[in-house]
Structure formats: structure tokens, C-alpha cells
């Protein structure tokens, strides 16, 4: 059974409460910025954007969301944008029972958008630390990438369309990115957005003009900001997918991961790179890791399925495709991969049924024809007479190169090798795994095929065994105070609480207590967790509990309710008080008082 880490969170898409429904791009952008900010808190597991956004416009109980995503807390919110004013509401919820840990409204002017995003992110991180344990939190989690609010607004529109991942969305995204650059040429992110878009186009079409455009935009972006994880991800995409440069591709993916360990798209790219070069063990290790952070990503399940497919484990590949299609029933890659697996499993009944269930499949007749060519003795009603006139004679940018596979099983091996060589020369995405694609097995004996493999995957072209960015980097275990300082601050802490009883203030927080001690909040958090063995709330509420017990059995307080006594003791929530009391004492407050009054 998987244990949910206490220090974990999913940020659900903030609801667009603006009068204009088209402002959804803005609420989505706010959500993504907060997700990215929280990933900068080392030791905090943050569910990736894809999985969080799987719950957009869905009314799902927060406890079910917590179970599906494997998180202890969930952040919900809304955004209302009107002219130059914004109102953001946010509430942090404990996923196990739906208890609201924290909520707040923020009314700001649009010019303050980066400051309010930073403020929300810091408050959330503080709340998780106070309730669940030590985290080292920076002074700021978000820094303004531009001073031009309109440029930022246009960038968010561009990213909103870009993340639709269809040709129309990417084209609109590029247009908005260009408008953003026109507003502020010193704003790096739209350059990276365009660079990534052209890099993907180059990889699918083998088009050098797109490759050059991607290079130009990325260079401009890096001249402004060389510490952007999105920039390094775009650079890695260009070098790996468009150029098949495995060494620099791995290096740049690792840079992106080091800057944002929770950005699973970068680690997915690294898994795909290892898959391409045939290192399936490393590829699978990275794939398992990204699925813990992004368990509702159809792309990640597809990446896992590709490893099984290339390893000839077709039933396992189909399991991954089923998981991907459960999240997105129209996910084209998973549809095509499922068809390939049914063909290779020699199961025409399932192949035919799947094609009928998924009429959006790219080339259904070519799939059926390929099956008939591979298994000519099976009695299935498929005619082959028209196949040669339908089959493409050159490299194509379809999701799966069915035309290439048909030429192989028509026996046109030299023509198939021509197509393959052209696809490899142009560095086309669908061809990148060619050395292990099962359908190309009949080409393996040919010298032309062996030369192609040797030249593409020569030892000099492959990544060496150098260390990569760790998948679970966390330096929070290092001591933040010397032993002498530990004893000094423990004594000071005891004095503040035993003598001054600061815990009676219901608004006491880790930060305000740290100020009283003259200690950085990160160090106080570490001190409580490492040397007292409690998080902040547990530590402070233990003092409050003892005060409550004394008050509750004192006859002088018999005219007061138990809840009133709890509030006098420093508790500020009936639910928190009752839950904490039962957890520590093993009985309800009322039952304990009855048993202990003389």
C-alpha cells in the first residue's frame, strides 16, 4: 500500500469567476505559477500541472482527489479579474477529511500580480510546514519575470493555447507569444514558448527552417534569462527530438530538472531519450518517478507503454495504453500504440473491435492490411489488391509510420530502407526508436539497416555514465544549527513558552515565534522537528492542551463551556481542538473531564 507523504499538495485549477469567460487563461496561468512556485520548496511533493488540471470543471470530493493524486493537502481557489483589479481566494484543505487548514482573500491591482502570487505561495508553504513538518522555505518563491503586465497577460494567453497541444492551439500560442515580445522584448518566457513550439514542429516534420527558427528564439531568450527551466526544456527538446543529439539532450533535460524537479515533462523527455538509445532500465526508473508526481498524465503512461512495446512485452504496453486512454479517451498516441500491440499479439478480433471503438484512428485500413500481410493464413476478409497504390513512398509525419511497416511486409525491403533512411536523415520523431521497433525486425539482417543503427547510435553519440540530476534531491536533512546553538535556542524556547506563555495567543505562528527567538523560521522549523520531534502546530498545541486540562478540572471555571476554555487556552478552532485532544488523550474532551473531575 502506498503511503501518502504528509508534505504533499495538489493545486487544483483556480476557478475563473470573472464576468468574461475568456479570462480562463488568466486563472489557469495563476494556478500554474503557484504550482511552479511551490516546486521550489525542497522536500515538498507537488503534483504536476497535468494531473491537477485533470480535475478542471469537475465536482470531485477532495478526499477522492487526495487518494488519486497521493497528496495530503489540496489547494482550491478562484480568480475574479475586472479591469485593473483582481480578487483571488484560496483555501488549503486536508485531503484525508476535508478539513480547511487555511483560507484567505486577496484584493489587489493587476500590477501586483507577481507579489500576490508570491504571497499566496509562501503562506501555503508555511501552513504545510506548521501542520506537517520541516521545510526550508526561501524568502521569495516568485520573482517578476517582466514589469510589463500586458506582456505577461499576452504570455498567459499564449501558454493557454499552446498547452492545448493541437496545431491550431500552437499556432495561436505563437501569435500571442509574438505579441508579448512586442510589448516587452526583455521578457524571456515568450521566446522560450516560441522556441519550443518550433522545436516540436521541426522534430515531426524534419524541417530545418523550423529548427533554425527554434534556435534563433531560444538564443534570444537565453540572453535574457539563462535560469529558466522552460528555456532548458525547450533547448533539450530541440537538441534531442529535432537533432537527435543524445548527449546535449540529456544535459539540457538535467538542467531543466535541476531548476524544477517537479516539472515532469522534462523528466519524461529524459525517459524518452534513454528509450531511444535502448537503455530501458533507466528509462523505466524515470517513468516510474514521474508517475508519482503526475499520476494522471496520459503522456507519461504512453512513455511507460513505449518501453514495454520496444521490450516486446505487449500485454504490459496495453495496460499502460488503457491507463492513458482512461485519462484521455482521444489520446492519439495511445490509440495508435494499442493498434500496434493488438497486431503484434496476433489478435484480429480485438484489433477490429478497437478500431470500431476508436474511429479517430489515423489509418485504420492500413492497420488491417498490415495484420493480413503479417498473418496471411488467417481467414479474415481483407483485400490487399489496392495496397501498393495507397502506400506512401517517402517518410511521413504520422504518429506511427504505418506506411513504412506496410512496405516491410509487402516484401519491399529496399524501398522500406529508403523510407527509413530518409526519416533518419531528416531526424523525424516517429523514427527515433527505429533500432528496436518490432515491425522492423525483417530489416535487421540488411547491411544498410546495421549501418544506420551504427551511425545513429555510435558510442561517441551516446550519453556516458556521468551522474544526472537526482530524482529525489533533498538537502533538508543537513543540520542548520550547531549543537551549542541547539541547546541555547531550546532553553530560550522553553522560557518563552513556560514563562511568557506565548502559546495563549491563538494567532501565534512559526514566523512570529521565530521573531521572538531571533531565529530564522527555517531554523526554528528544523529545531522543532529534529530535536523535539514535533511540527510547529503539534508542539504549540501540546502546551495549549495542558493548560486546557488544568482549566477544565478547576471548579472556578465550571460556568464556562469546554469550547470557551479551549479558546482561552489558545486553540482557535473547535475541530482542531477536538481532533488534537482525541489524538493525544484517546478520549473526547467531555469524557476526559467527567473522568477527571473530583
Q: What is the pLDDT of residues 173-186, one digit of tens each?
A: 999 999 999 999 99
Q: Between helices 536-552 and 574-585, what is the axis angle to 10°?
A: 90
Cell matching residue 145: 519575470
Instruction: Let me know how many helices (H) and strands (E) the chain has, helices first.
Output: 28, 6
Contact indicator for 384, 372 with CB cutoff of 8 Å: yes
Backbone φ, ψ for residue 297 (5° rounding): -95, 115
The 10 Å Cβ neighbour count of residue 546 is 12
Distance from C-alpha of 35 to C-alpha of 53, rounded to nearest angstrom: 11
466, pLDDT greater than 80: no
Model confidence at 580, in pLDDT bands (50, 70, 90)? very high
Query: What integer is the mean pLDDT of 503-532?
Result: 94
Window from 174-178, 202-206, 305-309, 387-391 with minimum mean pLDDT: 387-391
Select from 1.10.1740.10, 3.30.450.20, 1.10.10.60, 3.40.1230.10 the CATH code of 483-596: 1.10.10.60
Sign of the Cα pseudo-torsion (218, 224, 227, 230, in order): negative
Average pLDDT over the chain reads 92
**What is the predicted pLDDT for the residue at 397?**
58
Residue 536 has pLDDT above 70, yes or no: yes
pLDDT in tens, 202-215: 888 778 899 999 99
Question: What is the rounded average pLDDT of the residues 304-332?
Answer: 97
Distant-in-sequence contacts of 537-540, Cβ < 8 A, 24+ apart:
537/130, 537/131, 538/580, 540/503, 540/508, 540/513, 540/570
Q: Mean per-residue pLDDT for 278-306?
A: 96
Residue 362: predicted pLDDT? 86
Superfamily of 8-132 according to CATH: ABC-type transport auxiliary lipoprotein component (3.40.50.10610)
Please name the fold of domain 262-361: 1.25.40
The domain ranges of the chain are 8-132, 149-243, 262-361, 384-464, 483-596
Q: What is the mean pLDDT of residues 527-535?
A: 93
Q: Which whole number is the average pLDDT over 17-41?
A: 92
This prediction's pTM? 0.89
Segment 343-360 mean pLDDT: 95
| CATH annotation of 149-243 | 1.25.40.10
Q: Are 479 and 450 in contact (CB under 8 A)?
A: no
**pLDDT in the model for residue 475:** 47
The domains spanning 149-243 and 262-361 adopt the same CATH topology: yes
- Which of 20-24, 126-130, 451-455 shows the lowest per-residue confidence on average (mean pLDDT)? 20-24
Q: How confident is the model at residue 22 (pLDDT cuts 50, 70, 90)?
A: confident
pLDDT > 90 in the chain, percent: 83
Q: Which residues contact 137 (CB under 8 A, 6 or more apart)?
A: 41, 122, 125, 126, 129, 521, 522
Query: Would you state the pLDDT for residue 473?
Result: 47
**pLDDT band at residue 388, thresholds of 50, 70 and 90?**
low
Residue written as grid cell 486536508 = 94
Amino acid at each position: 500500500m502506498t503511503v501518502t507523504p504528509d508534505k504533499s499538495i495538489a493545486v487544483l485549477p483556480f476557478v475563473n469567476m470573472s464576468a468574461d469567460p475568456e479570462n480562463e487563461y488568466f486563472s489557469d496561468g495563476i494556478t500554474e505559477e503557484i504550482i511552479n512556485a511551490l516546486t521550489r520548496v525542497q522536500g515538498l511533493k507537488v503534483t504536476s500541472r497535468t494531473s491537477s488540471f485533470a480535475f478542471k470543471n469537475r465536482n470531485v470530493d477532495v478526499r477522492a482527489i487526495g487518494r488519486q493524486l497521493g497528496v495530503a493537502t489540496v489547494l482550491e481557489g478562484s480568480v475574479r479579474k475586472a479591469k485593473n483589479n483582481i480578487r483571488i481566494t484560496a483555501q488549503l484543505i486536508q485531503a484525508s477529511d476535508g478539513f480547511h487548514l487555511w483560507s484567505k482573500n486577496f484584493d489587489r491591482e493587476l500590477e501586483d500580480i507577481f507579489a500576490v502570487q508570491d504571497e499566496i505561495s509562501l503562506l501555503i508553504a508555511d501552513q504545510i510546514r506548521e501542520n506537517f513538518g520541516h521545510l526550508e522555505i526561501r524568502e521569495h518563491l516568485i520573482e517578476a519575470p517582466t514589469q510589463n503586465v500586458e506582456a505577461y497577460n499576452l504570455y498567459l494567453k499564449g501558454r493557454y493555447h499552446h498547452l492545448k497541444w493541437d496545431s491550431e492551439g500552437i499556432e495561436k500560442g505563437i501569435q500571442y507569444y509574438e505579441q508579448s515580445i512586442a510589448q516587452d522584448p526583455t521578457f524571456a518566457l515568450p521566446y522560450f514558448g516560441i522556441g519550443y513550439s518550433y522545436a516540436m514542429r521541426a522534430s515531426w516534420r524534419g524541417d530545418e527552417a523550423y529548427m533554425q527558427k527554434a534556435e534563433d528564439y531560444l538564443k534570444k531568450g537565453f540572453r535574457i534569462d539563462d535560469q529558466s527551466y522552460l528555456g532548458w526544456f525547450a533547448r533539450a527538446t530541440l537538441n534531442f527530438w529535432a537533432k537527435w543529439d543524445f548527449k546535449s539532450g540529456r544535459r539540457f533535460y538535467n538542467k531543466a530538472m535541476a531548476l524544477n524537479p517537479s516539472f515532469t515533462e522534462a523528466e519524461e523527455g529524459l525517459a524518452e531519450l534513454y528509450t531511444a538509445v535502448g537503455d530501458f532500465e533507466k528509462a523505466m526508473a524515470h517513468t516510474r518517478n514521474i508517475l508519482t508526481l503526475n499520476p494522471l498524465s496520459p503522456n507519461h503512461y504512453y512513455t511507460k507503454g513505449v518501453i514495454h512495446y520496444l521490450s516486446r512485452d505487449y500485454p504490459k504496453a496495453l495496460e499502460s495504453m488503457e491507463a492513458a486512454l482512461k485519462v484521455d479517451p482521444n489520446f492519439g498516441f495511445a490509440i495508435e500504440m494499442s493498434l500496434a500491440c493488438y497486431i503484434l499479439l496476433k489478435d484480429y478480433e480485438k484489433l477490429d473491435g478497437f478500431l470500431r471503438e476508436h474511429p479517430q484512428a489515423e489509418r485504420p485500413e492500413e492497420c488491417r492490411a498490415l495484420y493480413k500481410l503479417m498473418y496471411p493464413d488467417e481467414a479474415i476478409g481483407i483485400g490487399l489488391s489496392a495496397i501498393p497504390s495507397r502506400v506512401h513512398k517517402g517518410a511521413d509525419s504520422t504518429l506511427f509510420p504505418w506506411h513504412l511497416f506496410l512496405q516491410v511486409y509487402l516484401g519491399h525491403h529496399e524501398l522500406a530502407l529508403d523510407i527509413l533512411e530518409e526519416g533518419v536523415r531528416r531526424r523525424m520523431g516517429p523514427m527515433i526508436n527505429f533500432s528496436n521497433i518490432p515491425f522492423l525486425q525483417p530489416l535487421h539482417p540488411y547491411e544498410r539497416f546495421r549501418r544506420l543503427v551504427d551511425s545513429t547510435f555510435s558510442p561517441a553519440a551516446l550519453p556516458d555514465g556521468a551522474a544526472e540530476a537526482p530524482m529525489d534531491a533533498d538537502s533538508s536533512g543537513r543540520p542548520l544549527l550547531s549543537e551549542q546553538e541547539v541547546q541555547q535556542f531550546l532553553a530560550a524556547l522553553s522560557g518563552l513558552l513556560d514563562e511568557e506563555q506565548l502559546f495563549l495567543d491563538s494567532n501565534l505562528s512559526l514566523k512570529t515565534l521565530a521573531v521572538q527567538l531571533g531565529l530564522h523560521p527555517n531554523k526554528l522549523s528544523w529545531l522543532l522537528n529534529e530535536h523535539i520531534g514535533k511540527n510547529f502546530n503539534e508542539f504549540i498545541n501540546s502546551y495549549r492542551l495542558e493548560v486546557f486540562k488544568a482549566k477544565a478540572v478547576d471548579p472556578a471555571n465550571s460556568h464556562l463551556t469546554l469550547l470557551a476554555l479551549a479558546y482561552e487556552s489558545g486553540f482557535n478552532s473547535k475541530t482542531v481542538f477536538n481532533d488534537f485532544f482525541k489524538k493525544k488523550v484517546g478520549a473526547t474532551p467531555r469524557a476526559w473531564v467527567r473522568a477527571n473531575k473530583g
